[in-house]
Structure 1
């Protein structure tokens, strides 16, 4: 949720953020109206309760002649209080819905526009010249790394088996990410992959993209699409100690996405699938530390990409392509030879205080007063990276060179066709 103080003091800033995202700026006025109605209902209820309390105090000492009128007045006030409490409840419900409807306020400098309106920040490495490159599916099957046919037989479309060295490649990637995270002060976590509705909603994943999330009706639990969800809920309802600096966690988990809106898009291979594994960095910090922590997360992502030795670019995602929780997002996209384009491998988002406000995560400032924390997240390694590794490191004979940093995990420097 956005900061109400910011909304009341600078509604035009919030309206501008909504317009940049391509979302309705009228939601700002709806929230302002709901906020005013809620505060009026609270004030009216408080005044009536005070009046009722004062009237009740007169009854014990009233004369027999005055008592009936006082009792009648007290009953009338009690009815008014009951009605006021009902109105207050309705006002609170309307306010909460209006508050949840507005996306996070973007950070100054975020490009306006949609998916194609990103700003290019950096390009690293030159794509290799590869004659007639094979795609990751052909390479993965010929090298005995990926079995899509049996994945579909067992679980349906967009499922797969990673086999032999393919499994070792993924495990090596995740282990490499875990080692990097631990060396940089992250606490490694293996979190739950099923979460309660209030945790999923608190991270902002039950808004416009709710159809992407798997829900288990019988248990009213959600399968996470990223360990960000569980890690964001880890300190929900707590006041955490940030006096020694940010708290950094790295979650290693399987992730699940319905990909409901991607029919006909990336259906081949393991680029867009229903289940994958990932190591996700997650940070709690003070709001004034969030932008510098965002740059650190991006730096760690770039360090991981350097270890797999693929060309990539860094982009600043446009406002209209941000998720509701993100105030700014940087993506690192690797070059994919068979597609002759860059595709996302990592994403890191600064969610400012948006998620923590929903989840009740606070810290104490220098005066001991509780304040809302900021949260950030960023991919450190995931299954999709295998696509970039296989395609960029393929050789003319159909073999694939294993990046040096992964040789120790895979057990060979070159993967040969079976």
Structure 2
């Protein structure tokens, strides 16, 4: 959630952010009003409580005549204090709901607009010249690497099996991601896939995208769509020691998404699926270090993409496509020959102090005073990467060239041959 001090000092900044996102500015006015009403309710409650404490000290010293009136006032005050306390609770609840409704403040430089209004920052690598490129599913089926037919038989549409070299490629890619993360000082983690509601809400996934989340009603738990959720909540209600720099993690988890709005070509193969695996980076740092930390995560993503030798571009995502928690987001999009376009394979978001305020994660500044940390996240490898790996390295005879970095994970083979 946003900083209420910033809201009070510069509400127009928040309104401008809402306009960039294409979100209603009335939400800012609702939050201002809720904040004022909560403060007024709190002040009234505290004033009545102070009067109540003062009267309780006067009663024993009062004369008989004065005592009667003081006791009468004490009785009235008790009822007023009880009502004021209830009003404060109601105002707190209203403020929280209004607070949760306002997304993070967009950073300077983020392009305005929606999904199609991103800015391309750079393109890296040469797109392969492939006549009549096969898509990843056709390639994967020939290699006996992807089996969506049996996935549907066992679990339903948009489930799949990765078998043989498909399983080895994914495991190799994710192990390579963890190895790189450890090289750069991130703590490797295998995280829970089921989390409590407060963890999901704290990271901002129960807002506009709540329909994409699987919920286990009997246990009141949610299946995560990214280990970002578990990693963010890992330090909830804690004060971190950041004297040695940012606290960085790399989480490996299975992820689950309903993908309710997917259609057309996106539901073929493994582009939009209900379950996949991912290695996610997550950082806790001082707010003034967040912009540099964001670029650090992006550089690590690009290093991984270079290792699997696929052409990609980096985009600066427009404000309306950021999601509620992010103040800025960079995506890496890999070239997909069968579609003749780039598709997202990584995101990295600077969430500033938005998530940490919800999760109550702090650090101590130079004076020892607790301050809210900044949080950032970024994909380091995921199942979807198999799509550009298979398609960009396909050969005319149906075989697939294996990127050098992945060869040790598939028995040293440099070529994967179709299974006859």
- The yes-or-no answer on 1:177 pairing with 2:170 is no
Determine the structure 2 residue equivalent to 1:91: 91
Partner Cα separation in structure 2 for residue 345 and residue 65 of structure 1: 81
Match of residue 27 from structure 2: 27
Partner of 2:316: 316
Structure 1, unmatched stretches of 5+, are none
Residue 255 of structure 1 is matched in structure 2 by 255
Q: Which residue of 1 aligns with 2:238?
A: 238
Q: Is 2:417 the partner of 1:416?
A: yes
Instruction: Show the 5 A alignment for 1:216-295.
Output: 216-264=216-264, 266-295=266-295
CA distance in 2, matches of 1:331, 1:157: 27
- Shift in Å, 1:265: 5.5
Q: Report the aligned-residue RMSD.
A: 0.7
How many Å apart are 1:68 and its aligned residue?
Answer: 2.2
* Residue 66 of structure 1, CA deviation: 2.7
Q: Which sits farther off after the overlay, 298-307 or 51-60?
A: 51-60
Q: Deviations over 1:245-284 (max 9, x none)?
A: 0010000010000111224461100001000000000000
User: What aligned pairs does 1:121-140 form with structure 2 within 5 A after superposition?
Assistant: 121-140=121-140
Q: In structure 2, what is the equivalent of residue 13 of structure 1?
A: 13
Deviation for aligned residue 1:58: 1.6
**CA-to-partner distance for each residue in 1:315-357, whole Å, 9 max, x for gaps?**
0000001110000000000000010000001100000000001
Q: Identify the residue that residue 155 of structure 1 maps to in structure 2.
A: 155
Q: Which runs of 4+ in 1 moved over 2 A?
A: 61-68
SS of corresponding position for 1:334: strand
Give the superposition deviation at 1:72: 0.9
Give distance in 2, aligned partners of 1:7 and 1:55: 38
- Look up the SS of the partner of 1:5 in the other structure: helix
Distance in structure 1 (CA, Å) of the matches to 2:219 and 2:11: 40
Distance in 1 (CA, whole Å) between partners of 2:65 and 2:16 is 64
- The 3 A distance-change label for structure 1 pair 265 and 417 is closer
Q: Distance in 1 between matches of 2:66 and 2:185?
A: 73
Q: Distance in 2 between matches of 1:22 and 1:264?
A: 27
Provide the C-alpha distance between the structure 2 equivalents of 1:86 and 1:265, rounded to a whole number of angstroms. Answer: 54
Partner of 1:202: 202
The CA deviation at 1:375 is 0.3
Q: TM-score, normalised by structure 2?
A: 0.99
**Alpha-carbon distance in structure 1 between the residues aligned to 2:311 and 2:84:** 63
Q: Distance in 2 between matches of 1:357 and 1:84?
A: 27
1:414 is displaced (CA, Å) by: 0.7
Correspondence for 1:52: 52
Query: Equivalents in 2 of 1:83, 1:331: separation in Å?
Result: 51
1: CA distance, partners of 2:65 / 2:100: 54
TM-superposed deviation, 1:69: 1.7
CA distance in 2, matches of 1:265, 1:62: 84
Name the CA distance, whole Å, in 1 between partners of 2:327 and 2:356.
13
Question: Are residues 265 and 397 of structure 1, via their aligned partners in 2, closer, same or farther at CA, if it must alter by over 3 Å?
Answer: closer
Deviations 1:119-158 (A, max 9, x none): 0100001211101111000000011000000000000000
> Deviations along 1:195-244, whole A, 9 cap, x unmatched?
00001000000000001000000100000000000000000000000000
CA distance in structure 2 between the partners assigned to 1:6 and 1:182 by the alignment: 37
1:125 and 1:405 map into 2 onto residues whose CA distance is: 16
Deviations 1:346-385 (A, max 9, x none): 1000000000010000000000000000000000000000
Q: 55-64 vs 122-131, which deviates more?
A: 55-64
